[in-house]
Amino acid sequence: MNDPQQAIREKQFEAKIARDEKIEPKDWMPEKYRQTHIRQISQHAHSEVVGMLPEGNWITRAPTLRRKVALLAKVQDEAGHGLYLYAACETLGVSRDELYEQLHSGKAKYSSIFNYPTITWADIGAIGWLVDGAAIINQVPLCNTSYGPYARAMIRVCKEESFHQRQGYEIMMKLANGTPEQKAMAQDALNRWWWPSLMMFGPTDAESVHTEQSMKWKLKRKSNDELRQQFIDQTVPQAELIGLTIPDPDLKWNEARQSYDFGPIDWDEFWQVVKGHGPCNKERMNARVSAWKEGEWVRDAAMCYAEKKAAKKEVV
């Protein structure tokens, strides 16, 4: 930072962001900006890809053809999100293979929510409604983030996530209006997914790191606690509308705050899952690693064939 040239460039860079102009891959950027973006975008990409697993778990067992087709399409969308996000990340000078390597070695994180099991059909509804719902609240502000490729990817992703959210809610509504067994299945799913969904917004503001810098770069616009509150305020009436009960005895409308008060989050559970000891961390990682390992010969073959073809063209 002693270099005066560097200081000027950095100032210009920050000013550009402040003016709401986008940073593009070829633009100069501080190393810390690059690293922070690689971390966040890849973490997001990994979440999309790992997120395919708990939902993919129900494709073969979906209860109707219409639901099966919709679930396949949803999981396919998530793969697509992974693809655009890896591509956005690659513009920062890191390869997809390196990013996978970081995921497989446990160096890179992905959203902890996907370390919970999907044990009934209602979990597919709950994931769409709550998990995609929470993801949208986290991600809508990113449509205006400073890094151009990320912002553009997020616009497309958010559109599809809202579709997923509505579809998930519709699954829950159908169950909640169904037989007593179906309603119980929906309530049970809400009971299991509610608290992990609240944890998706991350630790409380008091304990959250990196926030200030991220705000400046528009990687974050609101704090974890603000986003969590927004999610709760939005979701509670949706649960009421279909006659499901949020599993929180302390949940209460606060007239003065015009918001819901809610009970304490079990942060021990949160850290346990983040640190790799959730119910399915091992299964998810094993599934990804073995897909990658078992696919190696396929990727090698594709590369080898492409090289042979290119060589043949040259000869001609």
Partner 1 sequence: MKQDLYTYILGIADNNLILGQRLGELCGHGPSLETDIACTNISLDLLGQVRSYYQYAAQLNERLTSEDQIAFMRTEREYLNVLLVEQPNTNFAYTIARQFLYDIFHKLFIQNLQNSTDQTLVAIANKAIKEVSYHQRFSSDWIVRLGDGTDESHEKIQTAIDDLWTYTNELFQLTPNDEQMIKAGKGVNTALFKDTYYAQINSILNEATLATPQSKWFQKGGKEGIHTEHMGYILSDLQYMQRTYPNMEW
Q: By the criterion CB under 8 A, which residues form the site for partner 1?
A: 49, 52-53, 56, 59-69, 72-73, 75-76, 79-80, 82-83, 86, 121, 171, 174-175, 178-179, 181-182, 287, 290-292, 294-302, 304-305, 308
Separation of alpha carbons 118 and 309, rounded Å: 44
Cβ atoms of 14 and 216 closer than 8 Å: yes
Nearer to partner 1 by Cβ, of 83 and 140: the residue is: 83
Tokens of 65: 């053809």
Please enumerate in sequence order all residues whose Cβ is within 8 A of that of 235, keeping only pairs 6 or more positions apart, or say none.
129, 130, 133, 246
DSSP E strand stretches across 13-123: none
Residue 288 binds to Fe ion (criterion: CB under 5 A): no
**Residue 161: contacted member of partner 1, Fe ion, none (CB under 5 to 8 Å, by partner type):** Fe ion
Rounded to the nearest 5 degrees, what angle is found at the Cα of 138, between the Cα atoms of 258 and 25?
A: 145
Task: Verify binding: residue 55, Fe ion, rule CB under 5 A.
Answer: no
Quote the CA–CA distance of 84 and 228 in Å, as a whole number. 26
* Shortest spacing between CB 246 and partner 1, in angstroms: 24
Q: Which is closer to partner 1, CB of 72 or CB of 274?
A: 72
- Phi/psi of residue 80, nearest 5 degrees: -60, -40
Residue 106 and residue 76: Cα distance in Å, rounded? Answer: 24
Pinpoint the alpha helices (H) of the chain.
Answer: 4-18, 31-56, 65-90, 96-104, 121-126, 133-139, 148-176, 180-199, 211-216, 224-241, 267-272, 281-294, 296-315
Number of residues forming the site for Fe ion (CB under 5 A): 7
- The least distance separating partner 1 from the CB of residue 116, rounded to whole angstroms, comes to 16
Given Fe ion, partner 1, none, residue 228, with its beta carbon under 5 to 8 Å by kind, binds none
Which of 50, 70, 135, 172: binder of Fe ion (CB under 5 A)?
Answer: 135
Biggest CA–CA distance in the chain, Å, is 78
Return the residue of 55, 90, 123, 161 that touches Fe ion, per CB under 5 A.
161
Within 8 A by CB and 6+ apart from 167, the residues are 70, 74, 128
Site for Fe ion in 30-49 (CB under 5 A): 48
Residue 135 contacts which entry, Fe ion, partner 1, none (Cβ below 5-8 A, type-dependent): Fe ion
Contact 246, 190 (CB under 8 A): yes
Residue 134, binding choice from partner 1, Fe ion, none, Cβ under 5 to 8 Å by partner class: none
- Which residue number, 54 or 278, has a Cβ lying nearer to Fe ion? 54
Q: What is the C-alpha to C-alpha distance for residues 298 and 306, in angstroms, rounded to an integer?
A: 12
- Cβ of residue 49: shortest distance to Fe ion, in angstroms? 10
Query: What radius of gyration, in Å, describes the C-alpha atoms of the chain?
Result: 22
Min dist. Cβ of residue 250 to partner 1 (A): 33
Give Cα separations from 145 to 130, 131, 211, 308 (angstroms). 24, 22, 14, 42
Tell the smallest beta-carbon distance from residue 158 to Fe ion (Å): 9
The 3-state DSSP class for residue 95 equals coil
**Binding residues among 74-133 for Fe ion as defined by CB under 5 A:** 78, 81, 132
Binds 247: which of partner 1, Fe ion, none (CB < 5-8 Å by kind): none
Least Å distance, CB 117 to partner 1, is 15
Considering CB distances under 5 to 8 angstroms, the limit depending on partner class, which of Fe ion, partner 1, none binds residue 299? Answer: partner 1
Nearer to partner 1, 6 or 290 (CB): 290
Cα(195)–Cα(198) distance, rounded to whole angstroms?
5
User: Least distance to Fe ion from the beta carbon of 103, Å?
Assistant: 15
For residue 207, the minimal CB distance to Fe ion (Å) is: 23
Q: Structure tokens of 194?
A: 């509610």
Give me the residues that bind Fe ion (CB under 5 A), please: 48, 78, 81, 132, 135, 161, 164
